[in-house]
């Protein structure tokens, strides 16, 4: 009994000391856990949402596409494509290790999935980045991952709009080492245009893609 209690106390002390390190990240985690949609309501955990830029227009929301350079692809890419008006763009943000959580949290590891029908594509709908440090298109997000693995490990981070601080705007980061082995640190997700119309979500080292959550009607 005694060694068990001691190791529990040691564990608690470990938690307390690691949690109270004066790191900017820890402050951000305690102060900004909540995620709000564009109407100011809290975003639900593991529920379908559209994600789009603040200034929304048809084709600017994020969707899956089954076509790249006029070829059918499987798994799908995650894109902004003005031509893909018929395809669904609803995504569930699923926190790792928090099945019963009611609301989505920022700064917490999660995986992203879609409930859209996938036709003949026999791949799971979890977003992954096969190799974030590789060249395009291997650093683009595709479907085909599994829940809570290094390649499907993301964070939603608050990213306030300074000219309009009331907007609830966010960026997405890919942090492979937070869910398993992989390159350390986090990679900002941005949009990469490989032609004029289609923009791929992935890692390109450019300005992060800033988005809002919209709940479907
Ligand atoms: C896509 O198809 C595969 C194989 O039929 C299935 O396992 C998977 O759940 C499907 N994904 C969705 C989102 O329907
Ligand atoms: C802030 O929001 C406005 C819309 O209210 C938008 O025009 C502007 O691009 C946003 N700024 C940034 C840095 O995203
Ligand atoms: C991610 O984007 C934020 C905001 O632009 C920036 O402060 C940060 O340095 C970026 N992180 C990386 C690893 O590029």
pTM: 0.82
pLDDT, tens digit (0-9, with 9 covering 90-100), for 159-186: 999 998 889 999 999 999 999 988 899 9
Distances (CA, A) of 63 to 67, 114, 178, 201: 12, 9, 25, 10
| Secondary structure class of 154 (helix, strand, coil) | strand
Residue 31 banded pLDDT, cuts 50, 70, 90: low
pLDDT at 56: 87
Tell how strand 71-80 and strand 212-214 pair up: unpaired
Closest ligand 3 atom, residue 188 Cα: 1
Residue 83 banded pLDDT, cuts 50, 70, 90: confident
pLDDT, tens digit (0-9, with 9 covering 90-100), for 131-146: 999 998 999 999 999 9
Residue 26 banded pLDDT, cuts 50, 70, 90: very low
Ligand 2 centroid to Cα of residue 76, in Å, is 29
- pLDDT cut 90: percent of the chain above it: 65
With vertex at residue 94, the alpha carbon angle to CA 96 and CA 58, rounded to the nearest 5 degrees, is 150
Are 51 and 212 in contact, with CB atoms under 8 Å apart?
Answer: yes
DSSP 48-115: EEEEE-SS--TT-S-EEEEEETTEEEEEEEEEE-TT--SS---EEEEETT-TT-SB-BTTS-EEEEE-
Ligand 3 centroid to Cα of residue 207, in Å, is 8
Residue 216 banded pLDDT, cuts 50, 70, 90: very high
54 lines ligand 2 (CB under 6 A): yes
Ligand 1 centroid to Cα of residue 76, in Å, is 12
Ligand 1 residue neighbourhood (C-beta within 6 Å): 114-115, 117-118, 122, 124-125
Ligand 3 centroid to Cα of residue 123, in Å, is 31
pLDDT at 74: 94
């Amino acid at each position: 009994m005694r060694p068990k209690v001691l190791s529990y106390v040691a564990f608690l002390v470990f938690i307390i000391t690691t949690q109270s390190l004066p790191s900017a990240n820890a402050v951000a985690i305690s102060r900004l856990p909540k995620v709000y949609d564009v109407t100011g309501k809290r975003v639900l955990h593991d529920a379908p949402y559209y994600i789009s830029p603040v200034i929304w227009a048809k084709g600017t929301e994020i969707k899956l596409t089954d076509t790249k350079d006029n070829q059918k692809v499987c798994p799908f890419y995650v894109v902004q494509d003005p031509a893909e008006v018929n395809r669904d763009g609803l995504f569930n943000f699923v926190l790792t290790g928090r099945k019963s959580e009611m609301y989505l949290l920022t700064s917490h590891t999660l995986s992203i999935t879609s409930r859209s029908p996938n036709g003949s594509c026999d791949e799971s709908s979890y977003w992954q980045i096969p190799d974030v440090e590789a060249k395009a298109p291997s650093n683009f997000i595709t479907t085909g991952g599994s829940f809570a693995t290094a390649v499907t490990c993301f964070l939603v981070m608050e990213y306030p709009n300074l000219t309009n601080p009331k907007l609830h705007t966010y960026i997405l980061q890919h942090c492979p080492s937070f869910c398993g082995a992989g390159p350390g640190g986090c990679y900002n997700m941005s949009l990469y245009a490989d032609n004029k119309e289609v923009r791929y979500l992935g890692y390109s080292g450019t300005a992060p893609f800033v988005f809002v959550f919209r709940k479907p009607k």
